[in-house]
Amino acid sequence: MVRLLSPLHHVVVAALLLAACYAQPAHAQPAPAASPKAAGDPVRGEKLYEARCGGCHSLDANRIGPKHRGVVGRPAASIPDFMYSSALKKSKLVWTPANLDRWLMGPSRFVPGTRMAAFVSVPADRTDIIAYLASTTPPPPKK
Ligand code: HEC
């Protein structure tokens, strides 16, 4: 028969795990990501962006969709010379990584009436694409 572990046993295991974590030497810590704005791999994200978004978008020119440089942190529908749907104009969204993730999961579910019909179903792909978009934001001017 399998004997259920006592609560005390759990405490001991947790303490051992905790001790093991603290015992890690400092150099075993993972290096901080290149961009602190978003998790994910921007290098992989760039390839995905070109393959999945490049047919309609680019960083610096409006195409079927609006240009993207600096989109992370920007209010939705804020490129002045792009003709957005009224749905996106009225959305009052800001393109935080979390909102971009929901958007890329299914734009018309997130903003009914939008004209963007593409979506990305794999969560890691969305994260990497968002990391790439975040990496395109120019740093703020030094004061
Ligand atoms: C089939 C064409 C098409 C593809 C492919 C496409 N988009 Fe779009 N995208 C659009 C259109 C059109 C709009 C404008 C939507 C509107 O006005 O409702 C848009 C809008 C956006 C916006 C809002 C930008 C803003 O200024 O508010 C983001 C963010 C975006 N797309 C990201 C992506 C990403 C990331 C991909 C790749 C995974 C992608 N799109 C693929 C057509 C596309």
CB of 134 within 6 A of ligand 1: the answer is no
Ligand 1 atom closest to the Cα of residue 100 is 29
Q: How far is the CA of 110 from the centre of ligand 1 (A)?
A: 13
Assigned architecture for domain 42-135: Orthogonal Bundle (1.10)
CB of 85 within 6 A of ligand 1: the answer is yes
Band of the pLDDT at 28, cuts 50, 70, 90?
A: very low
CB of 130 within 6 A of ligand 1: the answer is no
Band of the pLDDT at 120, cuts 50, 70, 90?
A: very high
110-123: buried (b, 16+ CB within 10 Å) or exposed (e) per residue? bbeebebeeebeee
User: CB-based contacts of 95: which residues, under 8 Å, 6+ apart?
Assistant: 71, 72, 73, 74, 75, 76, 103
Average pLDDT of the segment spanning 46-52: 98
Domain assignments of the chain as residue spans, ordered by start: 42-135
Determine the pLDDT at residue 137. Answer: 78
Per-residue pLDDT tens over the stretch 50-105 = 999 999 999 999 999 999 999 999 999 999 999 999 999 999 999 999 999 999 99
* Distance of alpha carbon 17 from alpha carbon 23, whole angstroms: 10
Nearest of 49, 41, 43, 83 to residue 69 by alpha carbon: 49
Average pLDDT of the segment spanning 25-39: 49
Determine the pLDDT at residue 39. Answer: 83
